[in-house]
């Protein structure tokens, strides 16, 4: 890396409360996080710690209660094509074909331009030959590839990944992790991943932010200075993993 990258996402003292019949429930209690341009950051934490809510706030889907939330120096008020969200169980549209899904955000381009961008991104995720297929005809991993292609086609510069591999089987999950690592390297997008899988976070991210439940904030950020592709059997990898589990107070042995 040459020189310091500018800050892409800045979160400072972020609070989020949900109003319920029994009163306000606080979900985020003073979250601080900084993501640099082109960086891959993972947020890990136990379920119910608010990490998905945090991602939904950063993506502009949910309003924050107080605190600073800036992307490229501007406050986030609504979702944008510049920053695309990849959903837990694929958010691609089952009523559209693969190409129609990939080109969905390109409605303001000419047909010719759109076809070119669609073809390029279908190729990037390795789905040539499936352009006319409906999602129902694809496997779970292939659907996830369609969603990545759709997110990349609009020339976004940030990808939000909300446990994108949660619904896949163990083998496909491994394959898709390699795939996202490859796409990230090839495109240089800023990636923010939310997962409860510490190993997944360490395999993919430059830095891993660890979130706790009480208080619901980022309690620790771990730098992952390991060369890629990463090996989960590498002692240095295991040491980082043990460190995070110890920090969260999780017993590792079954």
Burial level of 246, CB count in 10 A (0-12/13-18/19+)? exposed
Distance CA 84, CA 156 (A): 6
Binding mask 28-57 for other proteins (x = CB under 8 A): ------------------------------
Among 10, 36, 65, 93, binds other proteins (CB under 8 A): 93
Could you tell me the smallest distance in angstroms from the CB atom of residue 81 to other proteins?
5
Binding segment for other proteins (CB under 8 A), chosen from 72-80, 190-198, 202-210, 216-224, is 72-80
Q: 202 to 221, contacts with other proteins by CB under 8 A?
A: none
Q: Would you count residue 107 as binding other proteins (CB under 8 A)? A: yes
Joined together, the tokens standing for residue 99 give 């190409």
Helix H or strand E encompassing 120: helix 111-124
User: Could you say which of 61, 119, 197, 213 contacts other proteins (CB under 8 A)?
Assistant: 61
- To other proteins, the closest distance from the beta carbon of 232 in angstroms equals 30
Q: Applying CB under 8 A, does 136 fall inside the site for other proteins?
A: yes
Q: How many of the other CB atoms lie within 10 Å of CB of 194?
A: 26
Q: Please tell me whether residue 154 binds other proteins under the rule CB under 8 A.
A: yes
Tell me the C-alpha distance between 8 and 24, whole Å: 31
Burial of 71 (0-12, 13-18, 19+ CB in 10 A): buried
The residue within the footprint of other proteins, chosen from 67, 70, 87, 131 (CB under 8 A), is 87
Phi, psi for 246 (deg, rounded to 5): -60, -40
User: Which residues contribute to the site for other proteins (CB under 8 A)?
Assistant: 59, 61, 78-81, 83-85, 87-89, 91-96, 104-105, 107, 134-137, 150, 154
């Amino acid at each position: 890396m040459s020189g310091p990258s500018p800050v892409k996402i800045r979160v400072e003292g972020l609070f989020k409360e949900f109003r319920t019949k029994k009163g306000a429930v606080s979900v985020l209690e003073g979250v601080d996080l900084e993501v640099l341009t082109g960086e891959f950051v993972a947020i890990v934490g136990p379920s119910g710690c608010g990490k998905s809510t945090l991602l939904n706030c950063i993506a502009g889907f949910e309003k924050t209660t107080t605190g600073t939330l800036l992307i490229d120096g501007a406050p986030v008020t609504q979702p944008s094509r510049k920053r695309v969200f990849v959903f837990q169980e694929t958010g691609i549209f089952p009523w559209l074909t693969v190409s129609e899904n990939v080109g969905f955000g390109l409605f303001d381009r000419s047909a010719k331009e759109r076809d070119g961008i669609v073809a390029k991104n279908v190729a990037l995720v390795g789905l040539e030959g499936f352009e006319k297929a409906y999602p129902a005809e694809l496997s779970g991993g292939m659907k996830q590839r369609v969603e990545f292609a759709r997110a990349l086609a609009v020339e976004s510069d940030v990808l939000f990944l909300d446990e994108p591999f949660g619904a896949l089987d163990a083998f496909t999950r491994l394959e898709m992790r390699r795939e996202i690592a490859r796409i990230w390297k090839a495109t240089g997008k800023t990636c923010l991943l939310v997962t409860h899988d510490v190993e997944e976070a360490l395999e993919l991210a430059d830095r891993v932010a660890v979130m706790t439940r009480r208080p619901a904030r980022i309690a620790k950020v771990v730098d992952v200075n390991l060369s890629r592709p990463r090996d989960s059997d590498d002692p240095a990898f295991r040491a980082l993993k043990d460190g995070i589990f110890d920090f969260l107070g999780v017993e590792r042995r079954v």
